Amino acid sequence: MSLEGYKVITAREMARIEKLSIQEGASDEGYMLKAGAGIAERVALFIKEKRLQKRVTLLVGKGNNGGDAFVAGTLLLKKGYIVQAYHLFPTEESSPLCQKHKQAFTDAGGLVFFPKKAAEISCKGVLLDGLLGTGFQGQLEGILLDTVEHVNRSKQPILAIDIPSGVNGNTGEVNPIAVNAAETIFLGLPKIGFFLGEGYNYIGKLSPVDFGLELRYVHQACGMAHMLNEKNLPSLLPELTRTRHKYQAGYVLAVSGSPGMPGAAMLTCLAALRAGAGIIRLFHPMGMENELLHAPYEVIRTPYKDDPAALLLEMSRAAAMLIGPGLGRAQERGTFLKSFIDHITVPTVIDADGLFHLKGMFAKFPFPCVLTPHHREMLQLLGKEKFDDMFDECQKFAHENAITLVLKGAPTFIFHKDKPPLIIARGDPGMATAGTGDVLTGMIAALLAQKLPPREAAALGVYMHARAGECVAEMNTSYDLIASDLLEALPRVFKELSDLSLM
Ligand SMILES: NC(=O)C1=CN([C@@H]2O[C@H](COP(=O)(O)OP(=O)(O)OC[C@H]3O[C@@H](n4cnc5c(N)ncnc54)[C@H](O)[C@@H]3O)[C@@H](O)[C@H]2O)[C@@H](O)CC1
Ligand SMILES: [K+]
């Protein structure tokens, strides 16, 4: 069972393997025809699903990305769609395939306009962005820049071919703006720029189209990461035996909360229960009993002062641990953690202030360990102000410390020793709200307690958490989402996955 889905590569690497395959006998026109057919199909499906008028406007640059647009446009014309094209460059400046398929488009009755100014572009129907593809470098200027601003302003849905024009496929850099795509129809493999920097704000939904590149070239392509293979997730759901009892279901110990921050502890404990843990015991600092008076019935509470004896006793029955949410940065919290950390025997998730107190110690932990920093916390772990090469630095950190690293954000990345990084491109902007991280920590701990290996527990936990956020935003809006909504949505996500596992 593999977690790895699509290999994610740089635009540069894509161009390299395409070129290599063509040198070894593949046909670039064959590629373009197959790509164009797949793109036309996606456009038709988009129009059908959204019940839109069968009308398409092609935005065409001078490269093969524009050629793809002409091929798709010709096929759509032949299917009865109204299609018109805006070609921003003179025909003779365009790539040979772009020129050839522009001719095929006009032969099929398509109208091509050559606007002098962006304002001349009439944005009708669905806009198909073939301005710039993997050949884009530098920054947008002149009519290209004006066109991107103009089409974004139009509020018409834009489907980007291969990559939204203006996004750098190697770095995700957007300088100064890019096409704001409702959907990016990527050819062959997703480009790493989709997931880095500003790129992720522009790609919309991702849809793959196969253009016929042989698998051996995909295998030899140098990958930066893999997208998570969501199809395999249902098989990760823990098996439920009829005769199990709550300790077998998974006993989680939590060291969480501090005076003034009981909520983080509650969110993380409830999330662990909702994600399938049979029992959770919260160890909280002595003196905050009153703050926890209204804690849910299901959460067992044990106060601690400085003696870890009670915690160590429970450890013999526990299946996983979580440390950090709402712990605070007071020195005595760190001292308490350090009093038992060497005696942990079970897989453990460390988050938030737990990361702060235990910084620099992870490499020595003998237990399987999942760290869940967001970007700022990760930089603090690395002792840096900003990343020089996020992938490289995080992968190295995971490797050297022999831990599973969940770099939370949009999207979330998972790093693990000797494994390719995973990208989980799920979730909703509404999840940028207090407490959602605490929920994730509890969920991953519960999955560890149900015997999933750390990388699997992290991947399934991140996916389900993100999917819960999507469900809440679909039902309500992204504006009103709060962390406890995720707990409410988790049953629906479990149901989705378990229904899929029966198929
Ligand atoms: N090469 C192949 O085998 C295939 C390529 N395909 C398509 O071809 C695309 C790549 O084609 P190309 O390499 O022709 O590149 P593009 O179509 O991305 O076009 C780049 C053109 O824009 C110019 N350009 C780059 N940066 C610019 C900037 N900042 N301002 C203004 N102009 C700029 C380049 O000089 C080049 O002429 C892919 O994204 C994909 O859509 C597909 O047809 C599938 C097969
Ligand atoms: K494009």
Ligand 1 nearest-atom number relative to CA 32: 43
- Cβ(237)–Cβ(410) below 8 Å: no
Q: Which pLDDT score, from 0 to 100, does residue 187 have?
A: 98
Kindly list the distances between the CA atom of residue 201 and the CA atoms of 1, 134, 180, 183, 391, in Å, as whole numbers in the listed order. Answer: 31, 18, 8, 12, 19
Cβ neighbour number for residue 134 with a 10 Å cutoff = 23
- Cβ(423)–Cβ(195) below 8 Å: yes
Residue indicated by tokens 């630095």: 393
Closest CA to 28 of 219, 215, 210, 212: 212
Ligand 1 nearest-atom number relative to CA 211: 44
User: 57 pairs with which residues across the strands?
Assistant: 84, 127
Instruction: Domains for the chain: give ranges and CATH numbers.
Output: 10-222 (3.40.50.10260), 233-501 (3.40.1190.20)
Q: Which pLDDT score, from 0 to 100, does residue 247 have?
A: 82
Q: Which pLDDT score, from 0 to 100, does residue 501 have?
A: 79
Helix or strand run (H / E) with residue 106: helix 96-107
Of 134, 207, 214, the one to substitute when testing ligand 1's pocket (max ligand atoms within 8 A of C-beta) is 134
- Report which bound ligand comes closest to the CA of 95: 1
- Asked if residue 107 belongs to a known ligand binding site, the reply is no
Give residues with Cβ within 8 angstroms of 20, minimum separation 6: 217
The model's pLDDT over 248-262, given as tens digits with 9 standing for 90+, comes to 889 999 999 999 999
Strand ranges for 78-131 from DSSP E: 82-87, 111-113, 126-130
Q: Which pLDDT score, from 0 to 100, does residue 236 have?
A: 95
- Cα of 116 vs centre of ligand 1, distance in Å, is 21
- Cα of 38 vs centre of ligand 2, distance in Å, is 15
Q: Which of helix, strand or coil describes residue 95? A: coil
Over the range 202-240, which residues count as b (16 or more CB within 10 Å of their CB) and which as e? bbbebbebebbbeeebeeebebbbbbbebebbbebbbee
Q: Which pLDDT score, from 0 to 100, does residue 502 have?
A: 73
- Asked if residue 210 belongs to a known ligand binding site, the reply is no
- Cα of 151 vs centre of ligand 2, distance in Å, is 13
- Cα of 67 vs centre of ligand 1, distance in Å, is 9
- Cα of 196 vs centre of ligand 2, distance in Å, is 17
Residues 221, 7: Cα–Cα separation, whole Å: 9
Residues 180, 105: Cα–Cα separation, whole Å: 26
- Asked if residue 354 belongs to a known ligand binding site, the reply is no
Ligand 1 nearest-atom number relative to CA 134: 39
Residues 30, 34: Cα–Cα separation, whole Å: 6
Q: Extract the residue ranges of the chain whose pLDDT is less than 50.
A: none
Residues 37, 459: Cα–Cα separation, whole Å: 34
- Asked if residue 134 belongs to a known ligand binding site, the reply is yes
Residues 451, 280: Cα–Cα separation, whole Å: 15
Query: 162, exposed or middle or buried, with CB in 10 Å at 0-12, 13-18, 19+?
Result: buried
Of 60, 65, 209, the one to substitute when testing ligand 1's pocket (max ligand atoms within 8 A of C-beta) is 65
Over the range 451-487, which residues count as b (16 or more CB within 10 Å of their CB) and which as e? ebebbbbbbbbbbbbbbbbbbbbeeeebeebebebbb
Nearest CA to ligand 1 atom 39: 133
Residues 244, 246: Cα–Cα separation, whole Å: 7
- Cα of 132 vs centre of ligand 1, distance in Å, is 6
Closest CA to 73 of 47, 114, 106, 27: 106
One-letter amino acid at 307 equals: D
Residues with CB under 6 A from ligand 1: 18, 28, 31-32, 35, 61-66, 68, 95, 132-139, 144, 161-162, 187, 211
The model's pLDDT over 97-109, given as tens digits with 9 standing for 90+, comes to 999 999 999 999 9
- Copy the structure tokens of residue 4: 């790895």
